[in-house]
Amino acid sequence: MLGSIEKPVEDKSNRLGMTRVGGRMIADYWDDLFTARERGKKIVWYNGGALNPMFQAAGLAWCHGEAFAARLAAQRLEGPAQLAGAEYGYNAELCSYSRTHLGCSVLTLQGTEGDQTGVVGVHDQEVLAAKLPAPDFFVNNYAGCSTGQQWDGISYRVFGKELPIFNISHPFLWGNKPDSGYLRGEEWETASRFVADQLRELIGFLENQTGRPFDYDALSESMTYIKRAGELRREGLDLCKAKPAPATFWDWIASVAPINFLPGNQALVDYFADVRDEIQGRIDNGVSAVKDEKYRLYFDGIMNWNKLGYLSRKFAEHGVAVLAGRYIQNAFWQEPHLIDTSDPILGMAQHYLLCPTNHGAKTLEYLTLRDCEEYGLDGLVFHSTRTCRAFTGPQRLLARSAQDKLGIPSIFFEGDVADASFYKDGILESRLVAMLEAIDVRRERGSLPDGFSAFA
């Protein structure tokens, strides 16, 4: 049956109940955004690092471009936007986040022709299941990937060069200097100050757009909640080192949206406290995230949003707990200790620089191998994310390092962030099975390095 995707036989995954609560919070957030203009809010479209606390403090409504593209893909509603993008001229090999979002821009413009409702493709609302309001202005905050910066530059053009745009530039943390390393060295310090200075400029820009003085206390308050949420998230992540694992990478993927763009408030803190508590409860009661956990793996790449549920079941079916990944452990307010809540600008700038595509390969190697060791992993799965060159660039190097330095194997499978047509199930299935067999053989021979022996 060419091209068909077979459903995994038995669902051995045991997803956290809290993620359903997260799903409702996210749905509420979008509903709120869709009606923001009616409530007199100005709307900013932004890409890249989580600037939402800034926008929250400025009294704006915010739409994160990647998040909207991911949401459409997760709901399998990306089709109309991608079609509009293709008709406009975007090549199918272009970053699918950007072309989905640019397709939304095209639909927005078509939808507002003749009326000023400011609603995405009025005639397509039902299909899109989204009523994305047009922006009042753009802010770009993309680190690491050059496409991220160019994408907003093009959105600005698609909207006829009429809306204000503010751009934050992030030096790539390449590691020219001998003292360069993760969170250290002259390059890190200089880049942090450079981005922090730009955030201060952004505040001036936001004041101009809103006509109001910026509320620094509100920023501190929101960052206090976000810092606490980040700490709780880290605690929860650390609990997942337990064997068998109480929660997996897929649970944390379901919690990306809350940490990445929901408002900094008590509800956010409560959510991550409840996630952590649920995980702790599972440990206390001997409940595992994957029935009969046999293997523990790393997942590298941005999520294949159309396949979240499917992949979580698929890996579980093979007794695999996927536990760590660049997109989880090394993203999204992952170093909360950097945030000084009384003056959060520098810590925010540093998190924007810590985007997982903004590091040289040496730092990525350090982070990946560290997580493989800490979570006791047996192998790595690389999501060769077809239209995201930023994530895929260093993947082969990381696979080599894991093999050479930790003696653990890797597989690659092709898929994409928001374009399901690139996903090849047969390839993932056969490579995964082969890798798991190889892990079995090595366990039998007892040749795995320390810390990687079979526990099942």
Partner 1 sequence: MTDASSEAMERLVGVARDPRAYVGRWRAEHPGGAVLAILPMNFPRELAHAAGALPVIVQDDQQPITEGRALLAEFYCGYTRNLADQVATGRFDLYDAVFTADHCIQLIGATEIARTLKPDTTVFLGMLNSSMNDSWAPAKVTETMAEIRAEIERFTGNPVGPDALRQSIEACNRDRRLIRQLLDTRSAGEAALSPVELQDIIVSSMVMDPVEHHALLLEALAGLHGTERDDRVRVHLSGHLCHAPRRELLEVIEDSGAIVVDDDLYHGRRYLSTDVAEDGDPIAALAGWYARRNVTIPCPTRVQQDADWDVYLLDAVRHSGAEAVIHLVPKFCEPHMLYYPELRKALDAADVPQLQLETEHEGMPLESFRTRIEALVERALRRRPVHV
Give the shortest CB-65-to-ligand SF4 separation in angstroms.
Answer: 9
Evaluate whether 291 touches 316 at the Cβ level (below 8 Å): yes
Partners of 322 in the beta sheet? 297
Residue at 339: amino acid letter: I
- Asked whether position 390 contacts ligand SF4 by CB under 6 A, the answer is yes
The size of the interface with partner 1 (CB under 8 A), counted in residues, is 47
Contact track, ligand SF4, 135-174, x by CB under 6 A: ----------x-xx--x-----------------------
Q: What does 417 interact with, of ligand SF4, partner 1, none (CB < 5 to 8 A by kind)?
A: ligand SF4
Q: Which of 109, 242, 287, 361 binds partner 1 (CB under 8 A)?
A: 361
- Asked whether position 73 contacts ligand SF4 by CB under 6 A, the answer is no
Query: Alpha-carbon distance 409 to 382, whole Å?
Result: 11
Give the tokens for residue 194.
Answer: 């450079």
- Asked whether position 195 contacts partner 1 by CB under 8 A, the answer is no
Please tell me whether residue 334 adopts helix, strand or coil conformation: coil
Contacts 24+ apart (CB under 8 A), 390-393: 390/144, 390/145, 390/147, 390/148, 390/357, 391/300, 391/301, 391/302, 391/326, 391/327, 391/356, 391/357, 392/301
Please tell me whether residue 411 adopts helix, strand or coil conformation: strand
- Asked whether position 172 contacts partner 1 by CB under 8 A, the answer is yes
Q: What does 97 interact with, of ligand SF4, partner 1, none (CB < 5 to 8 A by kind)?
A: ligand SF4
- Asked whether position 181 contacts partner 1 by CB under 8 A, the answer is no
Stretch of 91-99, 231-239, 268-276, 306-314 lying at the interface with ligand SF4 (CB under 6 A): 91-99
Q: Which of 197, 235, 335, 425 binds partner 1 (CB under 8 A)?
A: 197
CA nearest 284: which of 272, 294, 276, 293?
Answer: 276
State the alpha helices, DSSP H only, in 354-394. Answer: 361-374, 389-392
- Asked whether position 388 contacts ligand SF4 by CB under 6 A, the answer is yes
Give the shortest CB-417-to-ligand SF4 separation in angstroms.
Answer: 6
Q: Which of residues 357-386 bind ligand SF4 (CB under 6 A)?
A: 357
Q: Which of 1, 161, 178, 450 binds partner 1 (CB under 8 A)?
A: 161
Residue 45: alpha-carbon gap to chain centroid = 17
Q: Which of residues 322-351 bind ligand SF4 (CB under 6 A)?
A: none
Give the tokens for residue 60.
Answer: 């704006």
Query: Alpha-carbon distance 294 to 435, whole Å?
Result: 13
Evaluate whether 297 touches 250 at the Cβ level (below 8 Å): no
- Asked whether position 165 contacts partner 1 by CB under 8 A, the answer is yes
385's enclosing H/E stretch is strand 379-385
Which CB atom, from 198 or from 255, has the smaller least distance to partner 1? Answer: 198
- Which residues contribute to the site for partner 1 (CB under 8 A)? 88-91, 93-95, 98, 140, 144-147, 149-154, 156-157, 161, 165, 167, 169, 171-172, 174, 176, 194, 197-198, 201, 357, 360-361, 384, 386-387, 389-390, 392-397
- Which residues contribute to the site for ligand SF4 (CB under 6 A)? 95, 97-98, 145, 147-148, 151, 302, 357, 388-391, 417
